[in-house]
């Protein structure tokens, strides 16, 4: 537990949240600033800064909880699909540094932008691949 971590405080029930699911190791609650109705967060109760620092055990169990809760969220808010996401690091949008996974219900009508992308040339893809492979 980190004394000044907001999600650790949520785990300890020092800050109230709208809990959807809880077991010994994980907690799922509604995001206080939702992207869409039903936007929820799944966290391991054990503190880690981000998914890179999270233990493999805590990390792998996250998806299990997501798969348990997401179908219920979809039914509950009448959504047809969802995004799951893990923002890792400030440039990627991480603002709370306690590992968490977002579940964001989506509907045809929500008008949310998806990631913008542009086609890349094969040469560029080859160059990037060459840079990455030595680290694998
Ligand atoms: P991220 O930007 O990926 O770090 O996501 C952090 C999320 O935590 C944001 O979507 C916030 O709205 C959400 N959040 C912050 N404080 C609370 C809180 N007290 N209860 C519920 N959600 C929170
Ligand atoms: Zn924490």
Q: For 17-67, write each residue's pLDDT tens digit.
A: 999 999 999 999 999 999 999 999 999 999 999 999 999 999 999 999 999
Cβ distance 112 to 36 under 8 Å? Answer: yes
The first and second tokens of residue 11, run together, are: 């785990």
DSSP designation for 89: S
pLDDT at 38: 98
Segments in the chain forming alpha helices (H): 6-11, 56-77, 122-132
Lowest average pLDDT, out of 72-76, 80-84, 109-113, 126-130, goes to 109-113
pLDDT at 2: 87
User: How far, in Å, CA of 43 to CA of 86, rounded?
Assistant: 11
pTM across the whole model? 0.95
Residue 3 has pLDDT above 90, yes or no: no
Tens of pLDDT, residues 97-131 = 999 999 999 999 998 998 899 999 999 999 999 99
**Residue 84 — very low, low, confident or very high, per pLDDT cuts 50/70/90?**
very high
Ligand 1 touching residue 17 (CB < 6 A) = yes
User: How far, in Å, CA of 68 to CA of 99, rounded?
Assistant: 18
User: How far, in Å, CA of 47 to CA of 62, rounded?
Assistant: 13
How far, in Å, from the CA of 85 to the mean position of ligand 2? 18
User: How far, in Å, CA of 74 to CA of 38, rounded?
Assistant: 8
Substitution site in 27, 32, 37 for ligand 1 pocket (most atoms within 8 Å of beta carbon):
32
């Amino acid at each position: 537990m980190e004394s000044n971590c907001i999600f650790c405080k949520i785990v300890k029930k020092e800050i109230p949240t709208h809990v959807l699911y809880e077991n010994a190791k994980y907690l799922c609650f509604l995001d206080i600033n939702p992207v869409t109705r039903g936007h929820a967060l799944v966290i391991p109760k054990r503190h880690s800064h981000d998914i890179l620092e999270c233990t493999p055990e805590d990390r792998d169990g996250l998806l299990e909880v997501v798969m348990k809760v997401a179908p219920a969220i979809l039914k509950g808010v009448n959504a047809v699909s969802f995004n799951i996401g893990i923002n890792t690091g400030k440039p990627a949008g991480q603002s709370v540094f306690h590992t968490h996974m977002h579940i964001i219900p989506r509907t045809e009508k929500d008008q949310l932008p998806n990631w913008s992308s542009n086609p890349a040339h094969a040469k560029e893809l080859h160059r990037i691949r060459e840079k990455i492979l030595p680290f694998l």
